[in-house]
Structure 1
Amino acid sequence: MARRALPSINALRAFEAFARHGRMTLAADELCVTHGAISRQIRQLEEQLGVALTEGPRSRLRMTPEGLKLAQALSPAFDQIEAAVPRPPQVGPRPLVVSCLPTFAMKWLIPRLPRFQAAHPEVPVRVAESNGAFDYRADGIDLAIRMRALGAIYPQDSNVTPFMEHFHGPVMSPEVAASVKPTLEAICALPRLHTRTFPESWSDWARKIPVELPEPASHQEFDHYFYMIEAAVAGLGVAMCPWAFVQRDLISGRLTAPLGFVVGEASIVALTPLADATEHALLFRDWLVAEGRSTPTPPEAACDSAVGR
């Protein structure tokens, strides 16, 4: 077998972590290294490949199209490696296993998780990122977080608890927003970004406005929300995103939402077994409900007021 011509695995890990989080500091926290170490690894990777993977000022670094392509291949590859790595037998209390949408875990749940751990240090929590079908017993899941869309199917033995409204709206980079007129028609005609996780997001939003969507300049689909978000940051088009996923990116200025947000037809829900939910699962569910109530609501849709049609 020919020797694999792969760059440094550490550099690939650093870049993949940055790609998922969109920020060097968060990637550094995940890998327990410094911000500078992540930056050096990515710079070395670019030099080795002879391709720019990132661009923009250090305060708003974003991926290039080549970087996005590489990142989308790296994440499932690292997921497969992680799943195949043998683990020692569990020592100590069994963790509460929470199956969660990957982007929701990164952008909303994990930043709030320290509050739960501080209040309940006796309840270890393991977040398992997934947006697919699951079985409580077979997969060892205590609670699942999903986006409940019209016609969604969950295990029949589930107790479904909505804990947050699903606000969503079109987001894009400030540079893209500045290049077009701030009208609904102009923004909707931009290259349109989609995710396989929730393909009906654009049609859901259009029904709520209401508006008939014009044909965009182009379509591009991504496997996960976090890559679609980074594609929007990179200026590849306009993405329909949940408020919970992009709140921090809007505050930091990486993204802008000139049309505001509307309440979607989906909702974000906690799923627990109907008959034998554990005490810790119910405790976590109630905490999610409280956190959902305390999450700030987004700016309302501006389609009929500040933004002209």
Structure 2
Amino acid sequence: MKPRLPPLGALRAFEAAARLGRMTAAAEELSVSPGAISRQVLQLEEHLGLPLFDGTKARPTLTAAARTLQPVLTTAFQQIADTVRALGDAHQGPLDVACFSTFTVKWLIPRLFDFHAQHPGIEVRLRTTDTGTDAAREGCDLLITAEEAAGALRDGPTAQPLFTERLGPVLSPVLAARTGALHTPADLAGQPLLHTRARRNAWALWAASTGAAWPEAVAAAGPVYEHYYFTLEAAVRGLGIAMAPWHLVMDDVQAGRLVAPMGFNASGYEYLALRRSAAAHPRLDVFCSWLQAQARAMPPS
């Protein structure tokens, strides 16, 4: 005879409370009252014959039994959610795609017209992420991100490679006429350099790829912008020289809004698309195939 399982509601209430650390936070997530969460947890404790929380109501701590049970439940509920979502979304509903904000503005959105023209029945909803590493955690069907090539790049049915990131200095034609010839990193000394807060090492990374020394004083010079998009716009407007990935500036370079006097070198990062799961998803298959075709069609740097 199979052992009788605790009520599903009690398991769900405990998992949320243990994961979030507070009954009130669990109540908010599950759209019930804190009292309901407490009653469900008490019901589970009575079923198990074990305490699950120690400490005070204001500062509850997990018992050893709770620390064993919580990760198992979290994984199980996530698998259930993923499976239900895959079954319901595989043939209908929008695709949720997350990626870096500047990638969204400078690369993906300018190309989405082509996707909509080819597949008018598939809606793509975009959201931005700055630190995303997992599509399920981001709550999306697909996460477009970058990983260091020196590490173990993810592969398999949920990871699809897109392209190698290549970095190079870019500036407006007007500023280029004033600065004179720029051939080596040493020529950048004394020039107005632009930086992005989220990637302060971009200049040093590029200099290393050229094999040239990069003095700290040169690397630290110039204003720092909050987002890459701000940095690139400042470069287009002639405010300085930006260190930029080719895929974010290739449209501006081809249109003559920016020039790249030193070309672009591999940064050591690879862009890839990470699917939420390996479950069958025909509409996502179509979008991923389109993404890879767009990556292959990118002009060489």
Q: Could you say which TM-score interval applies, normalised by the shorter chain?
A: 0.5 to 0.7
Deviations 1:5-36 (A, max 9, x none): xxxxxxxxxxxxxxxxxxxxxxxxxxxxxxxx
Cα offset for 1:267?
Answer: 1.6
Preserved CA contact (<8 Å) 1:93 1:124: no
Q: Which structure is higher in helix share?
A: 2
1:180 maps to 179
Aligned CA distance change for structure 1 residues 212 and 285 (closer, same or farther; 3 Å):
same
Structure 2 CA distance for aligned equivalents of residues 266 and 154 of structure 1: 10
The answer to whether residue 268 in structure 2 is matched with residue 265 in structure 1 is yes
Aligned length: 207
- Cα-to-partner distance string for 1:72-121 (whole Å, 9 max, x where unaligned): xxxxxxxxxxxxxxxxxxxx942101101112112221121122222222
Whether 1:234 and 2:237 are equivalent positions in the alignment is yes
After the TM superposition, which residues 1-309 of structure 1 pair with which residues of structure 2 at under 5 Å, given as runs? 93-133=92-132, 136-137=135-136, 139-149=138-148, 159-183=158-182, 184=184, 185-214=186-215, 215-216=217-218, 218-276=221-279, 278-298=281-301
Unaligned 5+ segments in structure 1 are: 1-91, 299-309
Amino acid of the structure 2 residue aligned with 1:181: G
Bigger radius of gyration:
2
Once the two structures are superposed, residues 11-62 of structure 1 have per-residue CA deviations (whole angstroms, 9 ceiling, x without a partner) of: xxxxxxxxxxxxxxxxxxxxxxxxxxxxxxxxxxxxxxxxxxxxxxxxxxxx
CA distance in 2, matches of 1:199, 1:243: 17
Unpaired runs of 5+ residues, structure 2, are 1-90
8 Å contact 1:165–1:268 — kept in the other structure? Answer: yes
Query: Does the CA contact (< 8 Å) of 1:174 and 1:254 recur in 2?
Result: yes
CA contact (8 A) 1:163 1:270 kept: yes
Q: Is the 8 A contact 1:133 1:154 kept in 2?
A: no
Distance in 1 separating the partners of 2:152 and 2:223: 26
> Residues 151-187 of structure 1, C-alpha deviation per residue, up to 9 Å, x if partnerless?
8899999933221121220011222212223132222
State the alpha-carbon separation in 1 of the partners of residues 284 and 110 from structure 2.
19
How far, CA to CA, are the matches of 1:246 and 1:168 in structure 2?
10
Is the partner of 1:123 in helix, strand or coil? Answer: coil
TM-score (norm: length of structure 2): 0.61
Preserved contact between residue 134 and residue 276 of structure 2 (Cα < 8 Å): no
**AA aligned opposite 2:99:** C
- Aligned counterparts of 2:264 and 2:290: Cα–Cα separation in 1: 25
Change (3 A) 1:270 1:259: same
SS in 2 for 1:219: coil
TM-score by length of 1: 0.59
Structure 1 residue 280, shift from structure 2 partner: 2.2
Q: Distance in 1 between matches of 2:154 and 2:167?
A: 26
Q: Judging changes above 3 Å, is the alpha-carbon distance between structure 1 residues 152 and 235 closer, same or farther for their aligned structure 2 residues?
A: farther
**One-letter amino acid of the structure 2 residue matched with residue 280 of structure 1:** R
Deviates more, 1:149-158 or 1:241-250: 149-158
Rounded Cα–Cα distance in structure 2 between residues aligned with 1:156 and 1:171: 33
Instruction: State the Cα RMSD in Å.
Output: 2.8
Percentage identity across paired residues of the two chains: 36
Partner of 1:8: none
**Residues 138, 181 of structure 1: CA spacing in aligned structure 2 closer, same or farther, 3 A cutoff?**
closer
1:201 Cα shift?
A: 2.0
In structure 2, the CA distance between the partners of 1:192 and 1:153, relative to structure 1 (3 Å rule), is: farther
